[in-house]
Amino acid sequence: MRKLTNAAQVAKLIKQQAKELGLKVTAKSQNFSMGNSVHVHILSGTDAAVEQLKKDTQKYEYGTFDGMTDSYHADNVIEDIPQTKYLFVDDDRAENIIKENLDQTEKRFYEHRFTYNNVNCTSYQWLQKLKEEAEEDWQNVLKTLLQDFNAAGANSVTTQLNGFVFQITKNRKEAA
């Protein structure tokens, strides 16, 4: 039986913990010259579970990279657990909801126009404000908005949360 590398063991442990927290994740390890890494992508779950996973997994990264001095510091070595040199935990829940709920013809979600309270903003700013106002229900609100956006060829969709008006509008292509 083949022995798993430290990075593969970390990925396996994180997947198990994520499952216990009710999260759906992917976790992949990579080994390379002078180190290894683990990339975790969170696909679904509650905000509280995501925060807990991020907090609990810090122990699996044995150091930090200092970009100012271009050096790595092994400042979190724990001898009795597997660890990785680099650990990336990415919250991809919004992207996953978009991918699963936006009509195939509208896959370029980030190219649409986004506003809240009639103020233009980036898709990132819009999603952050939506998360802030909808709180724990933000995933359901986003899913419903996208499904409404798909309905009947709508050019825009709007919802109101805590006095804020959130809108997604299709970018119109100009005729030549």
Residue 140 is predicted with a pLDDT of 95
Contacts made by residues 45-54, CB under 8 angstroms, sequence distance 24+:
45/18, 45/21, 45/93, 46/22, 46/136, 47/131, 47/136, 47/138, 48/136, 49/21, 49/22, 49/23, 50/23, 50/91, 50/93, 52/21, 53/14, 53/17, 53/18, 53/21, 53/23, 53/25, 53/89, 54/89
Query: What is the average pLDDT across 151-163?
Result: 84
Provide the CA 166 distance to its chain's centre, in angstroms.
21
State the average pLDDT for the chain. 91
In this predicted structure, the answer to whether residue 156 has a pLDDT above a threshold of 90 is: no
Q: How far apart are CA 54 and CA 73, in angstroms?
A: 20
Query: What letter represents residue 46's amino acid?
Result: T
Q: Which pTM does this prediction carry?
A: 0.86
Give the model's pLDDT for residue 104: 59
Best CA proximity match to 140, nearest among 22, 41, 47, 49: 47
**Does the pLDDT at position 91 exceed 80?**
yes
Higher-pLDDT residue of 14, 163: 14
Predicted confidence (pLDDT) at residue 67 exceeds the cutoff of 80: yes
pLDDT of residue 107: 58
The answer to whether residue 164 scores a pLDDT higher than 90 is yes
Question: Over pLDDT 70: what percentage of the chain?
Answer: 93
Q: Is 122 exposed, middle or buried (0-12, 13-18, 19+ CB in 10 A)?
A: exposed
Domain residue spans of the chain: 6-91, 94-169
